[in-house]
Chain A
Amino acid sequence: AQKITQTQPGMFVQEKEAVTLDCTYDTSDPSYGLFWYKQPSSGEMIFLIYQGSYDQQNATEGRYSLNFQKARKSANLVISASQLGDSAMYFCAMREVDSNYQLIWGAGTKLIIKP
């Protein structure tokens, strides 16, 4: 079974609009972390934001915020005021404390920002 599911293979969004990228996860470990990374066409994986399973507040980092709904096992990334430079692949990943620290990844969402 997929542990990380990203249901949107691709999205087109108008510049300056907000965008939500979906991520659902599956784990029985009570302690886990959820991460979002951005991968531009150059290939480098860039860390964006982190949410811990015990965090009470949704994580925010500048224009990025994470809509964490623990009971629904979802961790959607919200990008406010999108910019052309946001065009990239976006990956959701999870690490379970019992997994020896490896990250488990979704298949990604390709985001294209239209001018």
Chain B
Amino acid sequence: DTGVSQDPRHKITKRGQNVTFRCDPISEHNRLYWYRQTLGQGPEFLTYFQNEAQLEKSRLLSDRFSAERPKGSFSTLEIQRTEQGDSAMYLCASSLPLGLAGETQYFGPGTRLLVL
């Protein structure tokens, strides 16, 4: 299977701990996106990479959040000093750089985070 993969699928942590999630995009896709989705809502954009460059960050991405894509392949999203409000599904997507409105983003299975 050559789709987008995410690890772990589920994470339970205690408030104040740090967590890190990984996303492996479809191999030829050099655009990568992170979204956060809370229960009953649509996803909210967090950040976007083209190759290794982080080109846009949402104001939702507080100082406790950091994302990297060091070699332009997989990406990591780290949350420091987790809070209960960070509990959500974290979705990763990738796309080919078609430069058009129709550039389709393909999503991974997501990581469900629960902060106790």
Contact = CB atoms under 8 A, between A and B. Distances in A.
Interface of A: 4, 31-33, 35, 37, 42-47, 50, 52-53, 91, 93, 95-97, 100-108
Contacts of B101: 31-33, 52-53, 95-97
Given A100-B48, A100-B55, A101-B48, A91 B102 contact: no
B93 A45 contact: yes
B109 A42 contact: yes
B48 A45 contact: no
B107 interface: yes
B interface, size bucket: 20 to 34
A104 B91 CA distance: 14
Contacts of B105: 35, 47, 103
A42 B112 CA distance: 10
Nearest to A34: B101
Interface string B40-72: 111111001000000110000000000000000
The 10 closest A-B pairs by CB, nearest first: A105-B42, A33-B101, A45-B107, A102-B45, A43-B110, A44-B109, A33-B102, A100-B56, A97-B101, A52-B102
Contact of A47 (B45, B56, B106, B109): B106
A48 to B, nearest CB: 10
B103 A95 contact: yes
Contact of B100 (A44, A97, A105, A108): A97
Contacts of B93: 45
